[in-house]
Amino acid sequence: MMRKMACKILAVFMVLGLTACGTEKPKTTAEKGFSPSLEASSSCHVKIVGGYDNFEALEAEFDRFNEYYPNVELVYTKVDDYANMIGTVLDGKDAPDLYVNYSWMYGRDQYKASIDHAENLADPSLGMELGCIRGNIILNTDDGTLPMVPVFSNTYGMLVNNNLFEKEGLSVPTTYQELVKTCETFREKGYENPIMGFTKKETTSLYTLTIYPFFCSTIANDAEAVKKLNTLDSSAGGYLRPSLEKITQFLNDGCANIEACGQIENNYDAVILRFFEGDVPMMTCSGDTVSGTKKRESRSEAFIANPFQYTFVPIPMSDEGAVFLDMSNLQFSVNKDSSNLDMANEFMRFLITTRELNEMAKNKGLMAPTRDLTFNSMYAAFGAVPESRILSPEEIGLSDDAVIQFRQALYRVATGELSIDEAIARYGSFTQ
């Protein structure tokens, strides 16, 4: 059911816009900045729905938007069981003007309504500036339309206790060899757990967070491999071998204390609070987890007593360096049947700027979808990754089913349930 949260701002989130040309990625151009196109006296009530409990980060954005349109009110409503309910909500009489969307919904029959109701944000007549958004995280569709735009992005990496690195005179590793040597040095200095992470489930486990970006790098330029992996061809299991060998090497090199990792109950609160104990140099997690760190500083007695500086960096799993796996986190769509379509698009134009997207992402604690990642020091290290090592699942084209097979094989090898050869032979037959 829908639970209302009157947050004038919240709609900001949903209002992102894009102007692209077909499937061509937007080119980097000088930003023009937002210029109002509607009457300042315009008045309307805009409804937005999503799955988040709250959207405090949007309030500042809405306040700024109200400087242009003081009579526009936006109300955010949380929808429980969002993925399964959004189609029903969009087909109902009280349909929203804006709504959250996800790339993984595209092409799936059960989520068809979330795509069919979306306005084509690539329409040049909308006047959206897409140049500030990283083109590789924009959804590629078969017909070149853009039903959704990324508001936040995500990636995999590790939280780093910068104070411990400084105390021990060490630098954050940028290659696999450096990572192994750094872990060895920390152990010699009495740190039992150089790298920690959640290991109880395969989806967001330490194993997936460290190896999935590496796996993507091994098949990124091999269209035939992607095709076979997506069709769950049993012969495609061979493409997993380098990654399965890498996780085995990683564990044999003693980079992580798996027994200690097993005490972490979840990949959010538990990961953050364990990291805040202050004795862990590196902790694997996703950007989603990073977004919860600021609010939990005050919940950790250890952190309150001994606060430290921390940042989020990519995990270097090869001697060439780390891979920045660039993914969209949350996207917004405009209901093409909205009675407030002009104002919804106006708000999207306002939000699609480097400044607004960066501010909103920083307030939320997530990575911005913009080209400029230096704005937030928490994620600045990802901005230093060479373009040749920035990969996007959107562009590679791996299906969710293929990723599930990879994660299951990886988890079973990492936990010792299967040998590498056994896991390869079972590709296509794993169940979640």
| The model's pTM | 0.86
Give residue 3's pLDDT band: very low, low, confident or very high (50, 70, 90).
very low
Tell which phi-psi region holds residue 228, choosing left (phi > 0), alpha (psi between -120 and 50) or beta: alpha
Give a yes or no: residue 381 inside a domain. no
Residues paired with residue 154 on neighbouring β-strands, in sequence order: 327
Q: 169 and 149, same structural domain? A: no
pLDDT at site 5: 38
Q: Taking the mean position of all CA atoms in its chain, how far away is CA 144?
A: 23
CB atoms within 10 A of CB 270: 15
In a domain, 58, yes or no: yes
What are the pLDDT digits (tens) for 142-195? 898 999 999 999 999 999 999 999 999 999 999 999 999 999 999 999 999 999
Span 205-246, pLDDT tens digits: 999 999 999 999 999 999 999 999 999 999 999 999 999 999
Residues 421 and 315 both lie in one domain: yes
Q: State whether 281 and 346 are in the same domain.
A: no
Same domain (yes/no): 42, 172: no
Q: Does one domain contain both 136 and 199?
A: no
Residue 122 covered by a domain: yes
Read off the CATH number of the domain in which 349 is found: 3.40.190.10
Has residue 394 been placed in a domain? no
Q: Report how far residue 57's alpha carbon sits from residue 363's, in angstroms, rounded to the nearest whole number.
A: 5
Residue count (the chain): 432
Supply the pLDDT for residue 282.
Answer: 98
Write down the pLDDT at residue 32.
Answer: 67
d(CA 232, CA 212): 17
Q: Are 369 and 152 in contact (CB under 8 A)?
A: yes
| Residue 381 exposure: Cα atoms within 13 Å on the Cβ side | 25
Which residues have C-beta within 8 Å of that of residue 12, sequence separation ≥ 6?
Answer: 55, 58, 61, 62, 65, 74, 347, 351, 360
Full domain range(s) for residue 219: 156-325+399-425
Same domain, 146 and 253: no
Q: Verify that 336 and 320 share a domain, yes or no.
A: no
What pLDDT score was predicted for residue 31?
57
Q: Total domain count for the chain?
A: 2
Q: Is the pLDDT confidence value at 21 over 90? A: no
Q: Has residue 1 got a pLDDT over 60?
A: no
Q: Within a domain: residue 391?
A: no
Structural domain includes residue 388? no
Kindly provide the b/e burial profile for residues 166-197, where b requires at least 16 CB atoms within 10 angstroms of the residue's own CB.
eeeebebbbebebbbebbeebeeeebebbbbb
Alpha carbon distance 287, 324 (integer Å): 12
Decide if 380 is inside a domain: no
Residue 124 shares a structural domain with residue 50: yes
Domain identity same for 245 and 232? yes
pLDDT tens for 241-268 read: 999 999 999 999 999 999 999 999 999 9
Name every residue whose Cβ is closer than 8 Å to that of residue 268 and which is 6 or more positions away in sequence: 288, 289, 292
Q: For residue 236, is it within any domain?
A: yes
Calculate the average pLDDT of the chain.
Answer: 90
CB 291 within 8 A of CB 232: no
Angle between helices 341-351 and 59-66 (to 10 degrees): 110
Do residues 198 and 411 lie in contact, with contact meaning Cβ atoms separated by under 8 Å? Answer: no
Q: Could you give the CA distance from residue 103 to residue 98 in angstroms, rounded to a whole number?
A: 16
Is residue 179 domain-shared with residue 271, that is, in the same domain?
Answer: yes
Q: Are residues 271 and 344 in the same domain?
A: no
Instruction: Band the pLDDT of 425: cuts 50, 70, 90.
Output: very high
Q: Which H or E element spans position 157?
A: strand 156-161
The residue with tokens 């921390």 is 310
What's the pLDDT score for residue 419? Answer: 98
Residues 178 and 61 in one domain: no
